Amino acid sequence: MAEQNFIDYVKIHCKSGAGGAGSMHFHREKYIARGGPDGGNGGDGGHVILRGNRNVWTLLALKYRKHIVAGSGANGAGALKTGKKGESIILEVPLGTIAKDFETGQVEFEITEDGEEKILLPGGRGGLGNAHFKTATNQTPRYAQPGEDGEESWKVLELKMLADVGLVGFPNAGKSTLLAAMTAAKPKIANYAFTTLVPNLGMVKYRDTRSFVMADIPGIIEDAHKGKGLGHRFLRHIERNATLLFMISCESENIKAEYEILLKELAQFNEELIHKPRVLAITKADLIDEELKEWISAELPVDLPHIFISSVTNYNVQELKDMLWNVMSKNR
């Protein structure tokens, strides 16, 4: 059910409201036969707006709402009455949502804070009434502005998960098991590749009531940066994680080579990813002895913080939390 409900990409058709027309009207009363111009302005058209909501985790609500139409502004009227503004449409989206133009692929903005609002498509401005055009040399302007048309466009919304720590590794590296051990999250866990098909978030409780957010990113495979194995969908979530926790099973034939492949995939997708702080966790450490751990450690890069863990036996899980907290604190 979670996999069906997690939607991180939608394409929607948006139409903002047209502005109302300005009024061409002259003041008339019983004893005032020829009053001056008093036509009011038209109301502005409604916008299509995105609003960040920290309680929303998916774009599911927009999956079946393909056409978004805002209200048009009302026309102006006499007695300098301004037309009513068109109703804006506000779409609640998760933090980490990026808005793109479908035709050009250009990123327009991103939503990163709770309650943050940005206009996806602006409504048309209302036209000016004839009262606006009255001058010393033109006391009776017999014209008013029409309202501006609204805009119409296809937009793409993409979600990139926001987390303090992102888990990076090949399928079946133990990422979901670690997330379940460190948080209250309940990801699907099984002994085969690609158990996780969507990102999972969990809150890790740390010492003294402190906490941080951890994201289980679906497993990367070689050539993921080319889109292989849904690579682009997986990799874009890693861009928003402050610290990267690489996870490799001790059962791997060559841990160092596997780490370098993962690092290469990140670099080829987005070179900035390799500059993020990173830690290596070697999983399933309950299966090996101390001698083998020393041999593996000697093969790893000297500048890479690493730790042996077992999520099943809880071996070094608290020590991993300490290491991640220290790395995050150092780089904040």
pLDDT at 179: 82
What would the pLDDT profile of 18-64 be if each residue is shown by its tens digit? Answer: 999 999 999 888 777 778 899 999 999 999 999 999 888 788 889 88
Provide the pLDDT confidence category of residue 178 given band limits of 50, 70 and 90. confident
**Backbone phi, psi, residue 91, to 5°:** -105, 120
Residues 6+ apart with CB under 8 A from 275: none
Distance separating alpha carbons of residues 118 and 83, to the nearest angstrom: 24
- pLDDT value at position 322? 94
Q: What is the mean pLDDT of residues 298-307?
A: 91
Residue-by-residue DSSP string for 166-212: EEE-STTSSHHHHHHHHSS------SSTT---S-EEEEEE-GGG-EE
pLDDT given for residue 239 in this prediction = 74
What is 163-331's CATH number, 2.60.40.730, 3.40.50.300, 3.90.79.10, 3.20.20.370? 3.40.50.300
User: Would you give the distance in Å from CA 235 to the centre of its chain?
Assistant: 14
**Residue 292: its pLDDT value, please?**
92
- pLDDT by residue (tens digit) across 96-133? 899 999 999 999 999 989 999 999 999 999 999 999 99
Topology, domain 1-159: Spo0b-associated Gtp-binding Protein; Chain: A, (2.70.210)
Q: Which of 99-113, 117-131, 201-215, 229-243 is least confident? A: 229-243
Tell me how far apart the alpha carbons of residues 232 and 221 are, in angstroms, rounded to a whole number: 11
* CA-closest candidate to residue 109, choices 93, 125, 89: 93
Domain(s) of CATH 3.40.50.300: residues in the chain: 163-331
Q: What is the pLDDT of residues 54-70, one digit of tens each?
A: 888 788 889 888 899 99
Residue 12 pLDDT exceeds 90: yes
pLDDT top residue among 81 and 331: 81
Where in the chain are all domains bearing CATH 2.70.210.12? 1-159
At 32 the pLDDT is: 76
**Across 181-185, 201-205, 282-286, which has the greatest mean pLDDT?**
282-286
Q: Residue 126 in contact with residue 86, Cβ under 8 Å?
A: no
CB atoms within 10 A of CB 21: 23
Task: Outline where DSSP puts E strands in the chain.
Answer: 9-15, 48-52, 67-69, 89-93, 97-101, 107-111, 117-121, 152-159, 163-168, 200-205, 211-216, 241-249, 278-283, 306-308
Closest CA to 139 of 130, 126, 127, 148: 130
pLDDT classification of 188: cutoffs 50, 70, 90? very low
Q: What is the DSSP string of 77-109?
A: BTTTBPPPPPPPEEEEE-TTEEEEETTT--EEE
pLDDT, residue 55, reads 85
Please count the other Cβ atoms lying within 10 Å of the Cβ belonging to residue 163.
24
What is the Cα–Cα distance from 243 to 253, expressed in whole angstroms? 26
